[in-house]
Amino acid sequence: MNIVILGATSAIAQETARCFASEGASFFLVARDAAKCNVVAGDLRARGAAAADTFIADLADFSTHAAIANAVPQSIDVVLIAHGSLPDQKAIDDDPVAQVAAFELNATSFISLATHFANRTKTLAVIGSVAGDRGRAANYVYGAAKAALHTYCEGLRARGVNVVLIKPGWIDTPMTSHMRKNPLFASAPAAGRLIHDAIVANRAVVYVPWFWRWISLVVRMLPARFVKF
């Protein structure tokens, strides 16, 4: 199985990749930090990956996307798009440049990459977020980007591309290290296992873990005057 991972040093991507590595998959890993990307490649090889090649690129720079598409192997089974950043919303509330940059990284760059790979892979797996299901004061740029991505993936799937849209809830990763943990947090290894299983089963939309489907449903149905968080 040939797997391309965009944002390969993300904790969720790493844990998903470890599940595929133990099955002997081959990887093409794209990340911004060469040293970290090499550590991840070595980790996957030691866990049973048949191969793990690396490609260093800043995915926020769209001009790298074509070069990545040219460098990947001819036959691809899975492309997992997993990069992104969760900005401190309060800090950028009044900063137009930072707001747009956050949107571009979390939505536009995904759309560019998805377009490059839609016709080249058997499965396109995309990390969305429950944050995209409802606009909230705490993370509305991130949420808006993920919402755009959700709709984009829905359309892509309708077009006939095999898209697996993953909507994680709270996962204990460096991205959420500043947040107070509560019982709804899932571990990154558990999330990776669920994402692996969703990709193998080719599910259209999957909440990680499953209970976020129902939390999200309730949050979506709340009248706007109650959504002040």
Partner 1 sequence: MSYESWGRAIPSTPSHAIPLSFAPAALPNGELLLAYGLGRSYGDVCLNNGHTLLDTAKMDHFRRFDAATGIIECEAGTSLEAILKAAVPRGWFLPVTPGTKFVTVGGCIANDVHGKNHHRAGTFGRHVRSLELLRSDGALLRCSPTENSELFSATIGGLGLTGLIVSAEIALRKIESPMIVAERIPFRTLAEFDELSRASDATHDYSVAWFDSTSGREPRGIFFRGNHAAHPAGNARIREPHRLPVRLFSPFLMPLTVRLFNEGYFRANAHPQPQTLAYDPFFYPLDAVSNWNAIYGSKGFLQYQFVMPGSVAEVLDRVAKSQLASFLTVIKRFGSLPSPGMMSFPREGTTVCFDFAEGSARLRPLLEELDRIVLDGGGAVYPAKDSRMSPETFRRSFPQFESFARFVDPRFSSTFWRRVT
Residues that bind partner 1 (CB under 8 A): 9, 11, 22, 35-36, 39-40, 42-43, 46-48, 174, 177, 181, 188
Strand runs labelled E in 26-73: 26-31, 51-56
Cβ neighbors of 106 (< 8 A, separation 6 or more) are 84, 85, 141, 142, 145, 146, 149
Could you give the angle at which helices 140-159 and 109-117 cross, rounded to 10 degrees? 20
Nearer to partner 1, 26 or 216 (CB): 26
Nearer to partner 1, 35 or 218 (CB): 35
Least distance (Å) from partner 1 to the CB of residue 144?
Answer: 27
Encoded amino acid at 36, one letter? K
At 119, list the tokens: 């016709």
Nearer to partner 1, 43 or 197 (CB): 43
Active-site pick, 140, 142, 152, 207: 142
| Cross-strand bridge partners of residue 51 | 26
Nearer to partner 1, 5 or 149 (CB): 5
Distance (Å, rounded) from C-alpha 12 to C-alpha 181? Answer: 17
Least distance (Å) from partner 1 to the CB of residue 183?
Answer: 10
Is residue 46 exposed (0-12), middle (13-18) or buried (19+ Cβ within 10 Å)?
A: exposed
Least distance (Å) from partner 1 to the CB of residue 208?
Answer: 16
Nearer to partner 1, 44 or 111 (CB): 44
CB atoms within 10 A of CB 73: 14
Least distance (Å) from partner 1 to the CB of residue 170?
Answer: 13
Q: In what helix (H) or strand (E) does residue 15 lie, and over which residues does it extend?
A: helix 11-21
Q: Can 142 be counted among the known catalytic residues?
A: yes
Least distance (Å) from partner 1 to the CB of residue 14?
Answer: 8
Which residues are catalytically annotated? Answer: 142
